[in-house]
Every structure is written in C-alpha cells, then in structure tokens.
Amino acid sequence: MITLDGITKRYDDVTVLDDVCLTVPDGKLTALVGPNGAGKSTLLSIASRLLPTDAGTVHLDGMDVLTARDTEVAQRLAVLRQDNRVAARLSVVDLVRFGRFPYCRGRLRAEDHAAVAEALAYMELDDLRDRYLDQLSGGQRQRAFIAMVLAQDTDHVLLDEPLNNLDMRHAVQMMRRLRDLVTTRGKTVVVVLHDINFAAAHADHVVAMRDGRVVAAGTPQQIVCTDVLQAVYDLTVPVHHVEDQPVAVYFS
C-alpha cells in the first residue's frame, strides 16, 4: 500500500501540491484524474521519488520511499514518465533488459532473461525486439517502455499518462493490459489519465485532483457523476450510463 502524507510542492511562490494525503489501495487499478495543472504528474513523480518534495512522506508498506536505498525501491516500485529520452542505437530488447537492473546490476542471469522474454511476449513485442527505438512509432515505443517496467517485476507500477500518443485501439489495448496486470497478477497500478471515460471503464479507484489538492476519491460510479465533475473541472457534464458504465459526454 502506498501512503502519501502531507505532500507539499512549491515552485517559487506557486504551490503545485498543497498538503496532499492519499492512500493507494493494493491490488487495484487507481486512476488519477483532473484538469491540467492539478498536480497529478507532480504527485506521481514525488510518490516515485523522481522529484524531491518540500514536505511530507511517502511510504510503501512501511518502507520510506524517499530515504530507502535506490535498488530497494526499484525492486518494489516501477515508474514511467511520459516523453522518455531515447538513447541512440538502443534496441527494444536491450531497453527491456534494463528493467532487470535492480536485480542483476546489468549482468543478466537465466531468470532475468526469462523475465525479459516474458515481458516482450506480454506486450507483443517479439517481432520488434531487435529494432532500434528511434525506428519505432510513438505507440510502439510506449509499449517497449511499458515492457521494461514489466520486466522490473514490481508489485507497484506507476504510469504517467500511458495513453498519450496512442490511438483508440492501442489505448484500449493498453488499458486492458493494465487491467489484466491487476486482475491476474495482483499488481497495484496507478495511472494518470486525461480521459475520464477511460478511468470510468477500467479503473477500480478514481482520485480526482484540482489545484494541488485531492478533491474526491472513490469508485468510478462515485466520481464520474455530474456533481463531482462540476467540482473538479468547472464544467457541467451530463453523465449517461451505457451498459452499467458511467460515460461523461463532454464534447458538446
């Protein structure tokens, strides 16, 4: 269980996160939603110790994420930001092998190779394994990075906007895979999502943020309703139910 307590982040005079307290339930798919500038990505970065916090603590089942050893954290928590830098002449399989670094420091053993092969197969990257990353489309590259995170084989996976640059089909496939990770492998997945309807369709738990604060948290049914969306986005959004799923119609 990831527990954030009193997380505060300021840039000069601008407060990006204001005393955020949040508990991420284990074995669930949690979606972080909210308008631009709400602090979702910042919160995710702080929770995964990519960004230093000005105040507050992050605990993962009793381990202090912000002070624990790098390797120790990396064996239990994997994170992926958007817009990852791509090294030249790096093939897909070599990228996925990096995922084993916390366990083998770069000297892969048989079990590491097995984990890499499994991650590649899971993300359907076998055909692309020897391609260089800069020869791939945005969506393929995204899948390669996710495969790296899967090879890391952590109980907790944090992803910042994994649907960025993905078309409808790939976006749905990505969400199904994440869903599958939670359901069949019992992983805890946290994603920052832009589209509230993806959260409604795939997440177990939705956390809505605004202006650096958590304004609502609950099941998709509780969050995706006109009142809450009004409070989060300042927009009146009619919510319909299609096959038992709330769908926010915010286009018109």
Partner 1 sequence: MSASAPATTGRGAPGLSPQEPAVVHSDVECGRRRRVRLTLVALAALTVAAVLAFGFIDLKGSWEYALGLRARQVAALLVVGVAVGASSVVFQTIAGSRILTPGVMGFDSLYLLVQTVVVYVFGTATFLSLGAQNRFLVNLVLLTMFGLLLFRWLFRRSSRNLFVLVLIGVVCGSLFAALTSFASRLLSPNDYLTLQDVAFASFTTVDADLLGVTAVITAAACLGFVPLLRRLDIVDLGHDTATGLGVGYHRVVLTSLVLVTVLVASSTALVGPMTFLGLIVANLARQLLPTHRHAVLVPAAALVGAICTVLGQTVVVHVFALTTTLSVVVNLVGGLYFLYLLMRTARL
Residue 97 or 210 having the CB closest to partner 1:
97
38 to 67: interface string for partner 1, x by CB under 8 A: -------x--xxx-----------------
Q: Are 47 and 41 in contact (CB under 8 A)?
A: no
**216-225, Cβ contacts within 8 angstroms, sequence gap of 24 or more:** 217/22, 220/245, 220/246, 221/246, 223/33, 223/199, 224/196, 224/197, 224/199, 224/200, 224/248
Which of the ranges 27-35, 80-88, 205-213, 242-250 carries the binding residues for partner 1, by CB under 8 A? 80-88
What is the number of other CB atoms lying within 10 angstroms of the CB of residue 111?
A: 12
Q: How far apart are the first and last CA of the chain?
A: 39
Residue 145 or 233 having the CB closest to partner 1:
145
Q: Are 77 and 153 in contact (CB under 8 A)?
A: no
Residue 187 or 210 having the CB closest to partner 1:
187
Q: Residue 48 and residue 58: Cα distance in Å, rounded? A: 8
Tell the smallest beta-carbon distance from residue 68 to partner 1 (Å).
10
Q: Is 212 helix (H, G, I), strand (E, B) or coil?
A: coil
Please report where in the chains the tokens 């309807």 appear, as a residue. 197
Among 81, 202, 205, 210, binds partner 1 (CB under 8 A): 81
93 to 132: interface string for partner 1, x by CB under 8 A: xx---xx-xx--xxxxxxxxxx--x-----------xx--
Count of residues that interact with partner 1, criterion CB under 8 A: 43
Tell the smallest beta-carbon distance from residue 88 to partner 1 (Å).
7
Q: Which residues bind partner 1 (CB under 8 A)?
A: 45, 48-50, 70-75, 78-81, 84-91, 93-94, 98-99, 101-102, 105-114, 117, 129-130, 149, 152
